[in-house]
Amino acid sequence: MAKLHFENIKISAIVTTTGDKKVTIEEEAHNFGYDEKMVKRLKKRMGFNSRYVVSDKICTSDLCIESANKIFDKFGKNDIEALIFVTQTPDYKAPSTAIIMADRLGLGNDVISYDINLGCSGFINGLLNAYSLINSGLKKVLLCVGDVASNFAYYKDKNLTPLMGDAGSAVLIEKKDGFNADFVLHSDGRGYKHLIIPDGGCRNPFSKESLIAKESEDGIRRGIDMYMNGGEIFNFTIKVVPKMFDELFNFAKISKEDIDYFVLHQANKYILQNIAKRLEISEEKLPMNTMTIYGNQNSASIPGTINGFLYHKLIGRKKVVFAGFGIGLSWGACVVDLENTYIPEIQKYKGE
């Protein structure tokens, strides 16, 4: 387990942009073979309702750039010395999308730019990278996170597709006295097959076979689409997340009662309800409706939850826990102080 403490670093802005199209579970039910009774059951148990996805040819980078420009409208772009892009849906296999984004945003050629390939815990790992760069001497870092999950979720896959939404967030991190943060992070590659896109990498190169949709017990998908073993992911989450909070509290020398809000990766409402029950945390402190309205936004789900449900509540000094868990398998959490952070309401993609 990695444990890290940072001092005098602040999150100054958080902005999230969703896909431009809203779809409902009722509209998609025929793709998954759901009847009316099944739709009602899944809405109640899992939180299925609606999700926001992008129109054709809109990329995660486009969503993040729209979020970043809203930050620049308020703060400008001076002194930004790094751009980190956390995503599983880059513009290209190569080169790094972050480098292209830095140019599109007009950040100049002195900016450090790189991608991180990570999903569910990506916001925590991206934030750790940003804090580390500030700790090493940089003034400001722009962290961009998100996914166009509709790109890797086959439209007939009843196991994954009803969950997934598209979103891109931008977060401004800078040097600021009096703001501290503590992180704990883990990974376990033994479970990598439980959440995976099997084809398209060097291990299993893309082929004609990769485009053939195949039916299984839990859905229909192609080799280039994401596969999720839902039972294993649920068991993993319930096992590691409560323990991770104990580790974080012990390291940061705080208690659960010191925390104003717990903002977790919005996998689905059923998982979040189980975590909240085990931790004895109320829904007032642990929002869990992001997937129900916007879909599972992958690495953008934590900032997406903040912009979606806490933008009007994080006024004044607040101590907030962020926690992500999933693909890899990987999991991590941090506790940060938020005060006067620019947090506008979540916005829908408008385009340039």
Give the position of tokens 């772009």.
77
Least confident of 164-168, 196-200, 279-283: 279-283
User: 125, 151, 159, 296: which is the annotated catalytic residue?
Assistant: 296
DSSP code at position 301? H
Angle at which helix 60-75 crosses helix 97-104, to 10 degrees, equals 40
What is the average pLDDT across 331-352? 93
> Can you give the residue range of the structural domain that contains 84?
1-352
User: 49, 159, 265, 307: which is the annotated catalytic residue?
Assistant: 265
Q: Check pLDDT > 80 for residue 316.
A: no
pLDDT of residue 317: 78
Structural contact between residues 122 and 64, judged by C-beta atoms closer than 8 angstroms: no
Q: Check pLDDT > 70 for residue 15.
A: yes
pLDDT digits (tens, 9 = 90+) for 225-265: 999 998 999 999 999 999 999 999 999 999 999 999 999 99
CATH number of the domain bearing residue 252: 3.40.47.10
Dihedral (C-alpha) 284, 289, 293, 294: value to the nearest 10 degrees? 110
pTM confidence score: 0.95
Structural contact between residues 17 and 169, judged by C-beta atoms closer than 8 angstroms: yes
Q: Check pLDDT > 90 for residue 43.
A: no
pLDDT digits (tens, 9 = 90+) for 137-157: 999 999 999 999 999 999 999
334 in catalytic set: no
CA atoms of 167 and 349, how far apart (whole Å): 9
194 in catalytic set: no
pLDDT of residue 216: 84
296 in catalytic set: yes
Q: Check pLDDT > 90 for residue 47.
A: no
User: 49, 59, 64, 120: which is the annotated catalytic residue?
Assistant: 120
Number of domains within the chain: 1
pLDDT of residue 1: 63
